[in-house]
Amino acid sequence: MYSAAITGTGVFTPDNVITNDELVAAYNAYADRRNAENAEAIAAGEAEPVPHSSAEFIVAASGIENRRVMDKSGVLDPDRMYPRLAPRPDDQPSLMAEMALDAAGKALAQAGLEPGDIDAVFCAASNHERAYPAIAVEIQDLLGAGGFAFDMNVACSSATFGIQTAADMVRTGSVRRALVVNPEICSGHHEWRDRDCHFIFGDVATAVVVERDEGLTRPHWKIRSTRLATKFSNNIRNNDGFLRRAHDQMEDRRDMQFVQEGRKVFKEVLPLVSRHIADHMAAEGVTSADLSRLWLHQANKTMNDYIGKKVLGRDPEPGEQPNILQDYANTSSAGSIIAFSHHSEDLEPGSLGIICSFGAGYSVGSVIVERA
């Protein structure tokens, strides 16, 4: 058996920013239009008016201030409220592949590697823009990587599940270097017309290089241990899928975008994640005093504050548990990797940290890393 290390990370950040104020103005315009259309039914008590949203609520409930998206105009058009992304012919790179390539290039540069050094590519994300061929195989081809590639989907936990998959293959020697990419076009499966969640998501892509820990000369992160868990729940769900046609349900229904019971998710996922991290640390003989940093899934600031306090046994010091959700919103599987990529290089050799992602499934994955 070999040891595995993370030697490079990269983040592709879309140019388009949507502030809470812009988002709320578009949503409220949509609500006003719907209410004007349904004025008679609302006045007769036969229909409920669409309620307004507010930027104050969004910041207080989630900590989110901005989100990045691949297309802004469609999302902010009150007559549309979802992105406008031109279909691409089959001989053009898919959008997910294009985003992933940008992040992959940055991760490879940090690792000091060429694409041909990579033996395996995993595209681990909440959604894949087509059924097949796998986006990962397209990325492998566009990049010029060797070996093999496949897609994975474990919703918001896809990145840590991808890192364990890569690390296990590196440990056994079946591959020497793997690339895990997480292109997330959350704007495409998000319901921008539902005020309970319209502020949650953003788009991004991340990439992580995992390789054999042997003769490494650049600063890197030893993967001390990984741990995954799942427990079925319907509280975060999307019913879109390939049987739509067979179900005679081609129309755009609410449950064919992201749906969640936010309060239940809060109550059930917080203990699940806190216990998962505590058990993982205990099994590895790591105490809270040993930890320099936590890079958590970026869904909700209150959630992260709670988990940080549980894991450390005290309020985290500023910088100990960096959040990026104020700038990116929830970017599904990519969130904890953005936090890791942006807030890890300052740590001294020997420092320990945990990358942890969690979400639909339910699913939770943790990776204990040591700076070297």
Residue 195 CB, nearest distance to ligand COA (Å)?
4
Neighbours of 15 (CB within 10 A): 8
Which CB, 205 or 299, lies closer to ligand COA?
299
Neighbours of 182 (CB within 10 A): 33
- The verdict on whether 156 is a catalytic residue reads yes
Residue 282 CB, nearest distance to ligand COA (Å)?
25
Cα(60)–Cα(73) distance, integer angstroms: 26
Residue 201 CB, nearest distance to ligand COA (Å)?
8
Q: Which entry of 156, 186, 197, 356 is annotated as an active-site residue?
A: 156
Question: Which residue of this chain has its Cβ atom nearest to ligand COA in the complex?
Answer: 262
Cα separations in angstroms, 50 against 86, 192, 286: 30, 13, 50
Residue 243 CB, nearest distance to ligand COA (Å)?
23
Angle between helices 301-312 and 262-283 (to 10 degrees): 30
Residue 226 CB, nearest distance to ligand COA (Å)?
20
HEC per residue, the chain:
CCCEEEEEEEEECCCEEEEHHHHHHHHHHHHHHHHHHCHHHHHCCCCCCCCCCCHHHHHHHHCCCEEEECCCCCCCCCCCCCCCCCCCCCCCCCHHHHHHHHHHHHHHHHHCCCHHHCCEEEEECCCCCCCCCCHHHHHHHHHCCCCEEEEECCHHHHHHHHHHHHHHHHHHCCCCEEEEEEEEEHHHHCCCCCCCCCCCECEEEEEEEEEECCCCCCCCEEEEEEEEEECCCCCEECCCCCCCCCCCCCCCCHHHCCEECHHHHHHHHHHHHHHHHHHHHHHCCCCHHHEEEEEECCCCHHHHHHHHHHHHCCCCCCCCCCCCHHHHCECHHHHHHHHHHHCCCCCCCCCEEEEEEEECCCEEEEEEEEEC
Residue 368 CB, nearest distance to ligand COA (Å)?
22
Give the contacts of 224 (CB within 8 A, at least 6 positions apart). 284, 286, 352, 368, 369, 370
Neighbours of 16 (CB within 10 A): 18
The contact set with ligand COA (CB under 6 A) reads 53-54, 57-58, 61-62, 156, 195-197, 236, 260, 262-263, 265-266, 299-300, 303, 330, 359-360
Residue 296 CB, nearest distance to ligand COA (Å)?
11
Which CB, 124 or 156, lies closer to ligand COA?
156
Residue 184 CB, nearest distance to ligand COA (Å)?
11
The catalytic residue positions are: 156
